[in-house]
Structure 1
């Protein structure tokens, strides 16, 4: 069973403890941290990238709503508000909280909240998967999502082809580098450094232009300035802050940003 990695954020220690004990009854809930204020919550989100957060609203310093305003978009977990003040309910749902539970928390009401979280995660995973596929096809075909939907219905999606080689010009000479030989690519200002067969070729290009010439089934961006050949990945090493390092079969070690993790999630 996939675990729902969960944070508990409340300035009252007894409230944190009580909620933690109740959540232990759910086999798929894994409590990865408890935070006593908004500052700790923001740090924990950045460190652990949780799936779910039970969040108190009224806290000294940074309150629950302020925490959400400060979270980076790529890191925002599902939110269940837990508070004694029901006048916040409308505001909570306006910022797309999954649920809103009043203190003292009742077991029956908590079960409903967890069920909503499970349902939301299932729907979100399915929708995100479809969205990623649609975005990928849109980038390849230049069609809008609505046009792609219709093309899928009519079985009219084109077969996109990509060049087998990258032409690199230097001092009157042109070197043809086979795409299959490329291990990884990094941006350096207005130039791209292409690492292939233990050599580095420098190409004047933008990341976007070069990425458009590479088959996304084989090449994926893992950082705003790095593209990797998926076939060259030998190891995937997790890091304490929720990031990963990729070790290529030539020994190169590349950092992967959290925001790009979903692009190669199928191999992690």
Structure 2
């Protein structure tokens, strides 16, 4: 192979990132040009370096691997090949087992990484733009449930691959009834064990049996911000960000509610204020 493929490694776990860098050093066909510890760094690095390949962690705070890929698809016409890295095998076969887009499970095994890199090299050597678009469309279709032909149409017109489709309402089942809660009416959400408490601007609280991760993926990230492992807030309801005497932060909402901000989400919250 004549070309050396330029690689960016993205993982929020320092040890996992270091381990991947050490393993990739064994492949003479690959050259790591950047390493990133979060999704925002990854987006900036990809747009700067224009790599051939992205080793992308799926589970990361603030912007996970899916969100990074979605953002890049809105910014770039030609995407790098992506090899997803995940500790959860339910992301694996059904979504990513297509040519040129692969996955490896954590902890990364040498043989599995070798197979993924060999698959990548074969795809790159036999690369065909139309074929690559078709493979990308397959992956996006499996992620979103959207028709592959529609995705290919956007690719041909150099439009973003993923549509920003977020539901206008969330259906909540309770005691044989289904309540339709408008997303725009949600002030904030907090977790209570296996349930989500959805607080709306009419003073009501609706109980939804779903994980915080699942609910976060249904909410437009331009309108809602994750502020804690167990809390999501509607940006429009944020009145102020306060620093407490113990060094912690909290949000004050327009309805008088205070919501704690965890350290891992503090920087994301500050972007709401333009800082």
Q: Normalising by structure 2, report the TM-score.
A: 0.45
Larger radius of gyration: 1
Q: Normalising by structure 1, report the TM-score.
A: 0.46
